[in-house]
Amino acid sequence: MRICLRIKKNGQREAMIDAVESLRSLTAEPYRTASADLGVCYASLMRWRGRKRQGKMLVDRPGPEKTKPLDCAALSAQIMDLKFKKYRTGGTGALYRKFMDQISRRDVGALVWTARLEYEGHQAALARRIRWLVPGLVSGADDQDKAWVEKCRAYVTMIHDYGSRYALSAHGDDAKPTGLGTALAVERGLEEVGFNPLFFKVDHGSAYLSREVREVLDERFIIPLVSPVHYAPYNGGTERTHQDIIRFMEDVLEGRKVDGLTLRLACNVCRQKVNHLIRRSLDGRTACEVLQEARPFMQAYGRRQRREAYDEIRALTVDIVRELGDDTDMAVETAFRYAAETWMQLNNMIEVTQNGVVLPPFYQIRSH
């Protein structure tokens, strides 16, 4: 915004210089008289002309030029460490003093304000809660890497059911997950649990968007839901269960480096521990117990019902895209997520609340 404003002002001052030059060519007046006739400050006019001769912008950043190059990565990291309080952002002054040779106070303030808006948006999103009324309806996948294997990273891919908080699979490997490897992990997890969820949440990782994973989901008539870019809370339930498994893994391995076989065995043992934790959020039951409630529902949810659900969600997506007036790929992807959530609300499969207030279906679009 400020760059655009400077460019606009630069054009205005160029036009003012041209007007003074044109008046002098007609009247042969000195610059002081010509500038007075046109209502321009003589000192400013001379400064603009000097900058123009030197090939500089007539309107530049205020204040002295900075003596050091800006370390953008360090600045961004330290902005995110600031204390975002209700009305003020603690630590902004100290941050400016640290980078004062690299960036102006005004630009630091603008960056902090942008970060604050993102933080407040994130906090508002966290105040929004989804209560999963039907176990087995939605699953999600997540992977993390840890230094558990000699000479390379260990990768743990986990598949998680949202309604029951049951970890369907926790597959450890000493190679980064590929599309095929992820597809096999998803397939094994679904076969072990004995039924297919209706929806499957994935992030924008290349392995989850691969042809192999899509084929596994298509064969089982599972509807994929792609998470928004850089928005971890959308798949937050999976990440929380994954952290439980990681915590148990740290205790089991006790800081030792292991081979691939030991890693896989440890992942399975820790998954079983997590699935048999008594949870207050599940009314004192375990994820394994709650998952059993889903079997009659999901086994009765055949291909015809899944096809009908997909067709209804697709029709809702078309309505949302039309109402938004945006048919770009990102808009369609977002509309599909909204449509799926609305469909689940309409079919009493989830309850969405924000600050304790139950939100009606289709509220996301009505609020735009």
pLDDT (tens digit per residue) in 255-287: 788 787 888 888 888 888 888 989 888 889 998
**Residue closest to 220 by CA, chosen among 335, 298, 333:** 298
How many angstroms separate the first and last alpha carbons of the chain? 24
Average pLDDT over residues 101-108: 82
Say how far apart CA 129 and CA 88 lie, in whole Å. Answer: 27
Confirm if 135 and 293 have CB atoms less than 8 A apart.
yes
Q: Taking each helix axis as running N to C, give the angle between helix 329-346 and helix 303-324, from 0 to 180 degrees, rounded to the nearest 10.
A: 120
Say how far apart CA 261 and CA 300 lie, in whole Å. Answer: 37
Above 80 in pLDDT, residue 355? no
pLDDT tens column, 1-12: 444 445 556 677
pLDDT tens column, 278-320: 988 888 999 889 888 777 777 777 888 899 999 999 999 998 8
Above 70 in pLDDT, residue 22? yes
Say how far apart CA 45 and CA 38 lie, in whole Å. Answer: 11
Above 70 in pLDDT, residue 64? no
